[in-house]
Amino acid sequence: AQSVSQHNHHVILSEAASLELGCNYSYGGTVNLFWYVQYPGQHLQLLLKYFSGDPLVKGIKGFEAEFIKSKFSFNLRKPSVQWSDTAEYFCAFLGNTGFQKLVFGTGTRLLVSP
Amino acid sequence: DAGVTQSPTHLIKTRGQHVTLRCSPISGHKSVSWYQQVLGQGPQFIFQYYEKEERGRGNFPDRFSARQFPNYSSELNVNALLLGDSALYLCASSLTSGSYEQFFGPGTRLTVL
């Protein structure tokens, strides 16, 4: 079965704390991996993506993610969060199905207190 | 440049009715995909259309249908609405069918009473 598991549904941090959001996927083939973010009142935006090459990818706003193939994981990290990072974060993958079916996790709501 | 646009932004229907949702992709994008996001869940893939043809379909009943027009805009139709169809319906566009990156619109919030 194709699925994405995001381990934390709600995370509350203080500003300047470090962030790590877990993501594991289940898929038998080659994947392209994504983290999307949805800020309050806004639409889904791409935060970062992994297609191939260096498994450590950097995205916008200081976020990075590491693809560990042996663990089927693609965890999102940021060394120091800001209040403006308050949002919902979705991990997703695109398999080699021949069409553009993104499989999303259930999302993690991050609240950063000032 | 305008992003992906969707209309209407909100819609209230009653059970058994039919609904049509509309999406205009980013200029130059030829592929449109539809997703359903139920409250508390991640988006679920419904359809992908490219060059007016269905390229992929998710695990949704036949009550859900879509089409793409020559200008690459798209409509999602849902017949015989059920309470469980209440969700945010997202449209995403990409340059081609093989493009990896999809750009999402703001969605249409459908409430079925």
Instruction: Name the residue with tokens 């994405």.
Output: A4
pLDDT digits (tens, 9 = 90+) for B43-80: 999 999 998 999 999 999 999 999 999 999 999 999 99
Contacts of B104 in chain A (CB under 8 A): 36, 43-45
pLDDT digits (tens, 9 = 90+) for B81-98: 999 999 999 999 998 777
Contacts of A49 in chain B (CB under 8 A): 100-101
pLDDT band at A84 (very low <50, low <70, confident <90, very high): very high
Question: Which CATH number does the domain housing residue A30 bear?
Answer: 2.60.40.10
Of B41, B97, B101, the CB nearest to A106: B41
Please determine, for residue B1, whether its predicted confidence score (pLDDT) is greater than 70.
no
pLDDT digits (tens, 9 = 90+) for A44-63: 999 999 998 999 999 999 99
The encoded tokens of residue B113 equal: 């009473």
Nearest CA-CA distance, residue B40 and chain A, Å? 7
Nearest CA-CA distance, residue B41 and chain A, Å? 5
pLDDT digits (tens, 9 = 90+) for B12-37: 999 999 999 999 999 999 999 999 99
Give residue A70's pLDDT: 93
Q: CB B42 to CB A100 under 8 A?
A: no
Within 8 A by CB and 6+ apart from B71, the residues are none
Number of domains in chain A: 1
- CATH number of the B5-112 domain: 2.60.40.10
Q: Which of A71, A110, A70 is nearest to A90 (CA)?
A: A110
Please determine, for residue A3, whether its predicted confidence score (pLDDT) is greater than 90.
yes
Q: CB A32 to CB B100 under 8 A?
A: yes
Task: Give the C-alpha separation, B57 to B71, whole Å.
Answer: 21
Q: Bigger pLDDT: A2 or B65?
A: B65
Mean pLDDT computed over every residue of chain B: 94
| High-pLDDT (> 70) share of chain A, % | 100
* Structural domain boundaries enclosing A77: 3-113
Distance set, CA B80 to CA B3, B51, B90 (Å): 31, 28, 20
Please determine, for residue B100, whether its predicted confidence score (pLDDT) is greater than 80.
no
Contacts of B33 in chain A (CB under 8 A): 100-102
pLDDT digits (tens, 9 = 90+) for A6-47: 988 999 999 999 999 999 999 988 889 999 999 998 999 999
| Average pLDDT of the segment spanning A73-87 | 97
Give residue A1's pLDDT: 76
Give residue B47's pLDDT: 94
Nearest CA-CA distance, residue A45 and chain B, Å? 7
